Chain A
């Protein structure tokens, strides 16, 4: 027994030393992040599908959505291939910290907490938090009505909806799921009174489940969505900011916006539950 304890202690110490060593040798200064991507011939984009209509899988399983268009336009401008890596939303920041991906485009809100660990581009979309309510809770009209003991609010873990709900709701219980899809299931199964999420998601999820839910779309927060980049790559951030400026003026952008948020012809090509 004593022998075992000594062995374990030795192992633990070795692991910690290794950790400190690795911590020392970070990603380097990467002055030429843009050149690196061009040399690699591809840009690796982290996203978290299931966030309608920013990123989702179509019936063939391919990633489609507003953010996917942005990523593809970036790759085209750089003259490289785009490779998507699909994470649970909460896994995106750790993935970019660990240099598994070049950038994150996943409807991610720019906030101070995230800014401590990653860099953001200028906003490319403005949105806010809204509520989707289960019809059994007819009397709920505002977020204050929702904040009662015993009410369950489902959110996607690690999103700004999670952060907003966790800090705003003092009485109600906030339950966190991996991804919006599971949080939504909790709601339509009648186990949660509401889901907090950004307005486009609430509008679309309500359209999918009009029989069991009703939306309160008036946003109670304002959020700027940005592209996240590993810290210490100012050149890449600058490049992306220049790109976004010109992208937002382009025909391509107008078409994409019209397609995903206004006309919504994609409606029939993504899997829907009835």
Chain B
């Protein structure tokens, strides 16, 4: 017979908050690095350069068709046999590389969804390729990119829970640790789920606001 006891949560709150800070840190760094990788990847995929295209394609396919957990274990324990990667560096690397592949596709699809007449019109009034991309195509593409991009960022926050397997002291690691000492699985996991929910929810609210502002500027 189980009596629910939420006081263990209060007892362990400092540890949970430390874990939360770690999760926020890892997610934020991975979102930034992943976006940079994604922009570069998308540029490579739409570029005329055959080698850049091939490399970007191989990267996207390889990452999207293998599990993130395996990528994390491979980077930390596998590459760890040759390079001294700290758990934090390994997790941010794994998550950025993983998210980068999806972001590459989101940005590429967004750019290619803009009718080619837009680019041609820009060129015909004397813009260069770069100007046409930056001033005409991208501003329209961004509105289409933003919603799936936000979805990807939220997925990343939740996926970051997997780095607990390489002993990064994130929210999930802290929770697992509390469960092994208190055996309060129900209370701990419920509260941790709420923490993840709040994190993701704040982010999706922020993106929705940004979307609305972009819509207004039409």
Interface residues of A (CB under 8 A from B): 1, 12, 15, 19-20, 23, 26, 90, 93-94, 97-98, 113-114, 116-117, 154, 157-158, 162-163, 175-178, 182, 185-186, 189-191, 232
Contact at B205–A1, with CB atoms within 8 Å?
A: yes
- Chain A: minimal CB distance from B84 (Å): 8
Query: Chain B nearest CB: distance from A209 CB in Å?
Result: 13
Q: Report the minimum CB–CB distance from A211 to chain B (whole Å).
A: 13
The answer to whether A232 touches B1, judged by C-beta atoms less than 8 angstroms apart, is yes
Binding site for A on B (CB under 8 A): 1-4, 77, 80-81, 84, 165-167, 173, 176-177, 179-181, 183, 185-186, 190, 194, 205
Bound form: Cα–Cα A82–B143 in Å: 58
- B80 to chain A: closest residue by CB: A189
Q: List residues of chain B with CB within 8 A of the CB of A98.
A: 185
Give complex CA distance A20, B2 in Å: 9
User: Across the interface, which residues of A come within 8 angstroms of B179, CB to CB?
Assistant: 90, 94, 158
Complex Cα spacing A114 to B177, Å:
14
**How far apart are the CA atoms of A158 and B177 in the complex, in Å?**
7
Which single residue of chain A is at the shortest CB-CB distance from B180? A158
When the two chains form the complex, which single residue of B173, B183, B205 contacts A116, counting CB atoms closer than 8 Å? B183
Give 8 pairs: A residue, B residue, CB < 8 Å, sorted on A: A1-B205, A15-B190, A23-B3, A90-B180, A157-B177, A157-B180, A158-B179, A191-B84
Nearest chain A CB to B106's CB is how many angstroms away? 25
**Closest Cβ neighbor of B1 among chain A residues:** A26
Bound CA–CA A90/B186 (angstroms): 14
A182 near B165 with CB under 8 A, answer yes
Whether the pair A178, B183 counts as a contact (CB closer than 8 A) is: no
**A157, B181: Cβ atoms closer than 8 Å:** no
Minimal beta-carbon separation of A100 from chain B (angstroms): 11
Q: Which residue of A lies closest to B3 (CB)?
A: A23
How far is the CB of B94 from the nearest CB of chain A, in Å? 15
Q: Say whether B177 contacts A97, CB under 8 Å.
A: no
Given A19-B4, A20-B4, A26-B2, A162 and B186 contact (CB-CB distance below 8 Å):
no
When chains A and B are docked, how far (Å) is the Cα of A272 from the Cα of B2?
42
Q: Assess the B4–A90 pair: CB atoms within 8 A.
A: no
Check B205 against A182 for contact (C-beta < 8 Å): no
Q: Return the chain B residue nearest A117 by Cβ.
A: B183
Contact A94 B176 (CB under 8 A): no
Across the interface, which residues of A come within 8 angstroms of B77, CB to CB? 182, 185-186, 189
Q: In the complex, what distance in Å separates the CA atom of A90 from the CA atom of B177?
A: 9
* Distance between Cα atoms of A163 and B180 in the complex (Å): 9
**B205-A191 in contact (CB<8A):** no
Q: How far is the CA of A94 from the CA of B176 in the complex (A)?
A: 11
Known: A90-B179, A189-B77. 8 other contacts (CB 8 A): A1-B205, A20-B4, A26-B1, A97-B183, A117-B183, A176-B167, A178-B165, A189-B81
Query: What is the chain B residue whose CB lies nearest that of A177?
Result: B167
Given A176-B177, A177-B167, A189-B77, verify A94-B190 contact (CB < 8 Å).
Answer: no
Chain A residue nearest to B86 in the complex (CB): A191
Max count, chain B CB within 10 A of own CB: residue among A1, A163, A182: A182
The 4 closest A-B pairs by CB, nearest first: A158-B180, A26-B1, A94-B185, A175-B167
Query: Which residues of chain B come closer than 8 Å to A12, judged between CB atoms?
Result: 194
Judge whether A177 and B165 touch: CB under 8 Å: yes
B180–A162 touching, CB < 8 Å: yes
Nearest chain-B residue to A118 (Cβ)?
A: B183
> Please, which residues of chain B bring their CB within 8 A of the CB of A117?
183
Residues in B neighbouring A116, C-beta threshold 8 A = 183
- Given A97-B2, A157-B180, the answer on whether A19 and B186 have CB atoms closer than 8 Å is yes
> A178 to nearest B CB, angstroms?
6
Give the residue of B80, B167, B176, B205 whose beta carbon is less than 8 angstroms from that of A90: B176
Contacts of B205 in A (CB 8 A): 1
In the complex, the chain A residue whose C-beta lies closest to that of B209 is A1
Residue among A1, A163, A176, A191 making CB contact with B173, cutoff 8 Å: A176
A113 to B181, CA, bound (A): 8
Does the CB pair A23–B4 fall under 8 Å? yes
